[in-house]
Structure 1
Amino acid sequence: MGSSASKISETGLKHCTLWKADRSPACRAVMMALDSMNLSITEVDINMDKGEHRTQEMINLNPLQTLPVFKDRELVISDSHAICSYLASRYCDSGRLLPKDPGGRSIVDQHMHYNSSTIYPRFRAAAYPILYEHCNFVMPQQILEIECIYSDLECMLFKRTWFGGSWATLSDIVFASTISTLNILVPVDKNKYPRLSSWLYRISEELYFITANRKGLSEFSRRIDCSTSLDDTDEFKCPRSSCSRRGLQLKEPSPEATCKPVTQD
């Protein structure tokens, strides 16, 4: 199991707040970024089925009425990629998640742009009709488009263990949140995409994936299966710190890994 988050001391940022919904891949990307850096901030769960993201308070923070929303003192950011970059730039000195050299940084930026411009829109096109329009399946054209994404990512991983290079970066974190969710809708075929399948298995073993991504994946899967709203459990309704959320998740039984590793030539 990956243990990168446990190798650095906990940093509490009491002046920072994250409004989020666990089933959202975008929110889980920010949560994984927080956990990978062992940052603890105030987290507030928002029930989108009850329209809590459309309250006047949330509109004042983010007129687009989307999640996540992040606030650091007077600074408000409402795009998950921008939040991840800000956290890594502002609160992580190592340069591992977001390289400091322009070349390495541009690669990570390139991947995040691909996630926001291509992967996430295709996720929404496939998932939203099931979540909100009582559709019971992913349309054939959307399956083809998702398979094209898998093919692109398979090529990106040629002679690479991680998307950013020799270790996991923000590239892997933002891809992990979206691809692990797409995998529920259109499973990654390990025979067609062996590198992507192996990468998904490796990232699913990272501690920050376990603490920040697994619960939301399970919630999304249940929501897709029943196509009706699910009330949040009481233990996750109150604002809490990232540290307390991590502790709760580590107490949960570990589900089976997302994908089984495959042997590559």
Structure 2
Amino acid sequence: MGASGSTSVLTTTLKHCTLFKTDRSPACRAVMMALDAMNLSITEVDVNMDKGEHRYPEMLVMNPLQTLPIFKDRELVICDSHAINTYLASRYNETGRLYPKDAGGRALIEQLLHYDSGVVYPKYRAASYPVLYDKCSSVLPEHACEVECTYRELENMLVGRQYLGGCWVTLGDISVAATVSTLNILVPIDKLNYPRLSSWLHRMSEEIFYITANKKGLGEFTRRIDSSSVCDDVFKCPRSSEGRRARTGTPETEFQ
């Protein structure tokens, strides 16, 4: 058991917060995993990007970039998964385990978040978009080569440590895991070439928050890659994070 906690941990319900998302997006799943790791429950609204719902006028007011996720806390709107997660950890999580309170510790985690947003995620987009939207049958060789370079970098970053952030799971691990687990579908991680990276991803996959917030979206992404067909949303929305996790019997508090 890692930072995800258990069903006996008190869940905090933030009724004034809403997450607009789509499960097949790694960025959205990173926020969902962070919510589950911090035992926070907010309203979640599924947005069907295949039907262009992210371009509706009310969505463009919140995010002119036409991307997901979009997070709203009363009048505050944040549209980057890394910024959303650090905000949630700073504002609503007091443990400091996922996101340290000291400046040095935070800088190390933010370094990982910038690595994900500046290096790993762009390679995911480059590799996946031709398959998703241009009807390519497989990842282009040059993009696969770039993904392999990232795997080598991550393998080196894990020398002497169990997690990218150190001895336990941090927001950095969560963001990178969301992206790398999706890349692994496109360019499978070779266990012989990247044993540390493979072991790290396996450890992450056993975390409760990974199971509740990442596995379903990975399945949707895999089906989309395999069939190049439009995926219909399975769940009606809006719903709460707590409902998505289906942790019945978990005590809740309201954070007004």
| TMscore range, shorter length | over 0.9
Q: Look up the equivalent residue of 1:58 and give its one-letter code.
A: M
What is the Cα deviation at residue 204 of structure 1?
0.0
Task: Give the alignment of 1:1-265 within 5 angstroms.
Answer: 2=2, 4-6=4-6, 8-233=9-234, 236-247=235-246
CA distance in 2, matches of 1:4, 1:230: 29
Q: CA deviation digits over 1:67-109, x for unaligned, max 9?
A: 0000001100000000000000101111000011111111110
SS in 1 for 2:64: coil
- Percent of aligned pairs with the same residue? 65
Q: CA deviation at 1:231?
A: 1.5
1:4 alignment partner, SS class: coil
Question: What SS does the aligned partner of 2:42 have?
Answer: strand
- Alpha carbons 2:3, 2:98 under 8 Å: kept: no
**Residue type of the partner of 1:189?**
D
Measure the CA separation in 1 of the matches of 2:233 and 2:125: 22
Q: Secondary structure at the match of 1:114?
A: helix
Tell me the equivalent position of 2:253: none
Figure out how many residues of one structure are paired with residues of the other and give that number: 247
**Alignment partner of 1:230: what SS?**
coil
| Counterparts of 2:41 and 2:73, CA distance in 1 | 12
Distance 1:16 1:156 in 2: 35
Q: Return the alpha-carbon distance in structure 2 between the equivalents of residues 9 and 37 of structure 1.
A: 10
Q: What CA RMSD, in Å, does the superposition of the two structures yield over aligned residues? A: 1.3
How far did 1:237 drift? Answer: 2.5
| Residues 136-178 of structure 1: CA deviation (Å, up to 9, x unaligned) | 1101111110000000000000000011111100011001100
- C-alpha contact 1:8 1:37 (8 A) present in aligned 2: no
SS of 2:41's partner is: strand
Q: TM-score if structure 2 supplies the norm length?
A: 0.94
CA distance in 2, matches of 1:195, 1:124: 24
For normalisation by structure 1, the TM-score amounts to 0.91
Which consecutive unaligned segments of at least 5 residues does structure 2 have? 248-256
